[in-house]
Amino acid sequence: MEILDNILDIIFPPECGICGKIGKTYICENCYDDIKKYLYFNENDDILHLLKYEGIIRDKLISYKFNDKSYLYKMFCEIFEKNKKCCDFLKKYDIIIPVPIHNKRRKTRGYNQSELIAKELAKKMGLQIYVDVLKKCVNTEMQSSLGKNERNKNVQDAYIVANEEKIRGKNIVILDDIYTTGSTVNECKKMLVAANKIGIITIAKD
């Protein structure tokens, strides 16, 4: 796979996700310096937020999630990797589980934005990724369209667990894109009772 990745990098050289500069990385040095002000990091041992949901980060996340810019996962993943705190945080876990989206939404969007990043991070950090354990069984309203009070109710009982044996006694990290009230990740966490330890990592904190 690495050979294929290298060949693809020659045919389609990486492009900075912010300024578009072609080079060897998905975020150039100048843009990385610019976004350093948005780096957020953790509130406690079990939660880590990479960035603040503000300015260019907010714009890029909206493009990533709603405007069909799926390729931006490489930029976000590179920002994760550049940060030692993130790498150290991820090393505490065996398995990464991206927050699932409902099949119907996946069909319309074409991809699960959290899964693309989780896959890349798992590959780079040597974690396992499971996408067949946590599933979204109810096609809920978009959390972003709801007020803070309605969000808990919206995701209640929206997820189911399959293949529970795979996570028994394991250390799991759940990856989500944007953390606002925490309703989504907390509901997911509640479902993974068979795990030993559960952490949460998000791209951005609103």
Give me the residues that bind Zn ion (CB under 5 A), please: 16, 18-19, 21, 28, 31
Do residues 196 and 166 make contact, with C-beta atoms less than 8 angstroms apart? no
Closer residue to Zn ion (CB): 31 or 173: 31
Run of H or E including 5: helix 2-11
CB burial readout 117-153, b (16+ within 10 A) else e: bbbbbbeebebebbeebbbbeeebeebeebeeeebee
Q: How far is the CB of 190 from Zn ion (least distance, A)?
A: 39
d(CA 201, CA 98): 10
Strand pairing category for 95-98 and 171-179: parallel
Closer residue to Zn ion (CB): 23 or 169: 23
Q: How far is the CB of 19 from Zn ion (least distance, A)?
A: 3
Closer residue to Zn ion (CB): 26 or 40: 26
d(CA 189, CA 195): 9
Closer residue to Zn ion (CB): 27 or 174: 27
Q: How far is the CB of 35 from Zn ion (least distance, A)?
A: 9
Closer residue to Zn ion (CB): 35 or 188: 35
Give which of 83, 69, 74 is closest to 40, Cα–Cα.
83
Q: How far is the CB of 33 from Zn ion (least distance, A)?
A: 10
Closer residue to Zn ion (CB): 22 or 162: 22
- Structure-block tokens of residue 65: 């999630």
Q: How far is the CB of 23 from Zn ion (least distance, A)?
A: 8
Chain mean position to CA 161: 19
Q: How far is the CB of 18 from Zn ion (least distance, A)?
A: 5
Give which of 28, 29, 48 is closest to 39, Cα–Cα.
48
